[in-house]
Structure 1
């Protein structure tokens, strides 16, 4: 099984993220093949918790078979990561409550929608569109499921928790969730094509959710892929 490097995070950049004792670097790798298991079909993921002082400049052989996987859409293109903190709200699954919240926003949040340059035709469903959970790539937060809600159990039937989400196209939600330093056009849409991104696409423009079990001693992770 060949593994591809996907993501590296530093405890210095993300002090809110829980790391095992005596580690300060998190690395996510996975096999780009689609693996069928009880969680569905998606990449096989593995977490590596390391100490910065143990890392070396030379990593030896490439982590993937470039002639086989390099052009695959679930192998990220190398790029730098600039974490940015956001505020999001939990999803609302009760249709009656969701309608009530959207009605309140229509009466009380018009100024916010104007500032965000939110198109008028989208304001009727503003909560799930711009005020609830972010659909993009993120660490922690609320899971923005593409399909039905599902939290996997680990192989020992212990509960897991959402660690991070990787979204197709890096989650370029035009008006609300794009990074603050990305240029926008006259309508407020983020011009994400102007920056170097990972250029991932999971299934039919879906997302990969990484869940972690901290009850197991090695803190294993599990990948759940959902797409339209």
Structure 2
């Protein structure tokens, strides 16, 4: 089912014409539970990978705040919790019985960290035909994103980008290696999702605007009211409801929030990086309700399982933040850059 972002509560560029030249297109991916195949765009799905091409591995040092677990441990833990959340329960009945609690504790106990290379985990596969405005190197029609599902020096999973021509892939790798170690809580393991791309318009967050304009937007937000007469979210109204869309997306603006933007320049050529791909810990929350797609505004029928409607991929960055991947505008061969906001 397609997903439709409601019109913004206010045409902010009409009220503040200085914003109009800063408009950018972003493509909200709207990942939802599915069973995507290798010839489809997806989050957490299988990759179109040549059988004769080496699968990438991570050889960087890892920060193990808690013992790592296996990918199978994460999958089994989620399946157990999903089944129990969905089953009918009597008032006061525990979610898990003693045997299930023992199994869950065992799955979450972890194991000693491996010291060798850690195979990467598929995160997203984006066919350019599905993503309006997404371009790649000459001849490439597919972007694949993988990462090492462990914390590194920057407290982020280490991402790896692959651009390829899907038409030149012969025999396929059907059984890619799984990571030996996954972060203890499984926060970096995306569940398989089909995508429903939708182009929207974004504007910079206040931290990327001239201070005078940001101050005027803050003052306007303090006085703004929703059409139904309820008070809006004060000075943050522009930031949360009118500037940057939440959720997994391609392009647009960076969601600067809890720290000031810093210069991000390609080490090879000095060009300013541009946003490519955003991984979010949820598609909406209490501060971004106007971005909830029309098709998701009614509560789902029946009980809600372990997989929240606002976070079908079940990925969490930090304490509920986003990970953005930036690329150099002069060459796709130059290194990308990752930031957390």
Whether TM-score is above 0.5 comes out as yes
| Partner residue, 1:138 | 249
Query: How many residues are aligned here?
Result: 211
SS for the counterpart of 2:337 is strand
Normalized per residue, the structure richer in strand is: 1
Structure 1 residues 145 and 105 mapped into 2: Cα distance closer, same or farther (>3 Å)?
closer
- Cα distance in structure 2, aligned partners of 1:155 and 1:102: 35
Q: Is residue 59 of structure 1 aligned with residue 173 of structure 2?
A: yes
Larger Rg: 2
**1:203-214 alignment runs, 5 A limit:** 203-214=318-329
Inter-CA distance 95–15: structure 2 relative to 1 (3 Å threshold):
closer
Output the CA distance in 1 between the equivalents of 2:323 and 2:295. Answer: 25
Distance 1:205 1:101 in 2: 26
Matches within 5 A, 1:22-171: 22-36=139-153, 40-55=154-169, 58-65=172-179, 68-69=181-182, 72-93=186-207, 96-104=212-220, 110=225, 113-114=226-227, 120=231, 122-146=233-257, 147-156=259-268, 158-159=270-271, 160-171=273-284
Checking the alignment, whether the CA contact within 8 Å between 2:217 and 2:238 is kept in structure 1 is yes
Deviation at 1:77, TM superposition (A): 1.2
Q: Distance in 1 between matches of 2:296 and 2:316?
A: 20
Q: Is the 8 A contact 2:149 2:181 kept in 1?
A: no
RMSD: 3.0
1:193 and 2:308 are equivalent in the alignment: yes
Report if the CA contact (8 A) 2:220-2:235 is conserved: no
Which residue of 2 is the match for residue 11 of structure 1?
A: 128
Decide whether the 8 Å contact of 2:246 with 2:282 is kept in 1.
no
* TM superposition shift of 1:183: 2.7
Q: Distance in 1 between matches of 2:284 and 2:173?
A: 30
1:160-195 Cα deviation digits (max 9, x unpaired): 22112111124556412233321346xxxxxx9347
Q: Using CA pairs under 8 Å that are at least 6 residues apart, name the structure with larger relative contact order, 1 or 2.
A: 2
State the 1:57 CA deviation: 7.8
Partners of 1:210 and 1:163 lie apart in 2 by: 6
Q: Distance in 1 between matches of 2:177 and 2:283?
A: 22
For 2:189 and 2:316, the matched residues in 1 are separated by 9
**If the length of structure 2 is used for normalisation, what is the TM-score?**
0.54
Report the equivalent of 2:3.
none
* Cα distance change of structure 1 residues 121 and 177 upon mapping to structure 2, 3 Å threshold: closer
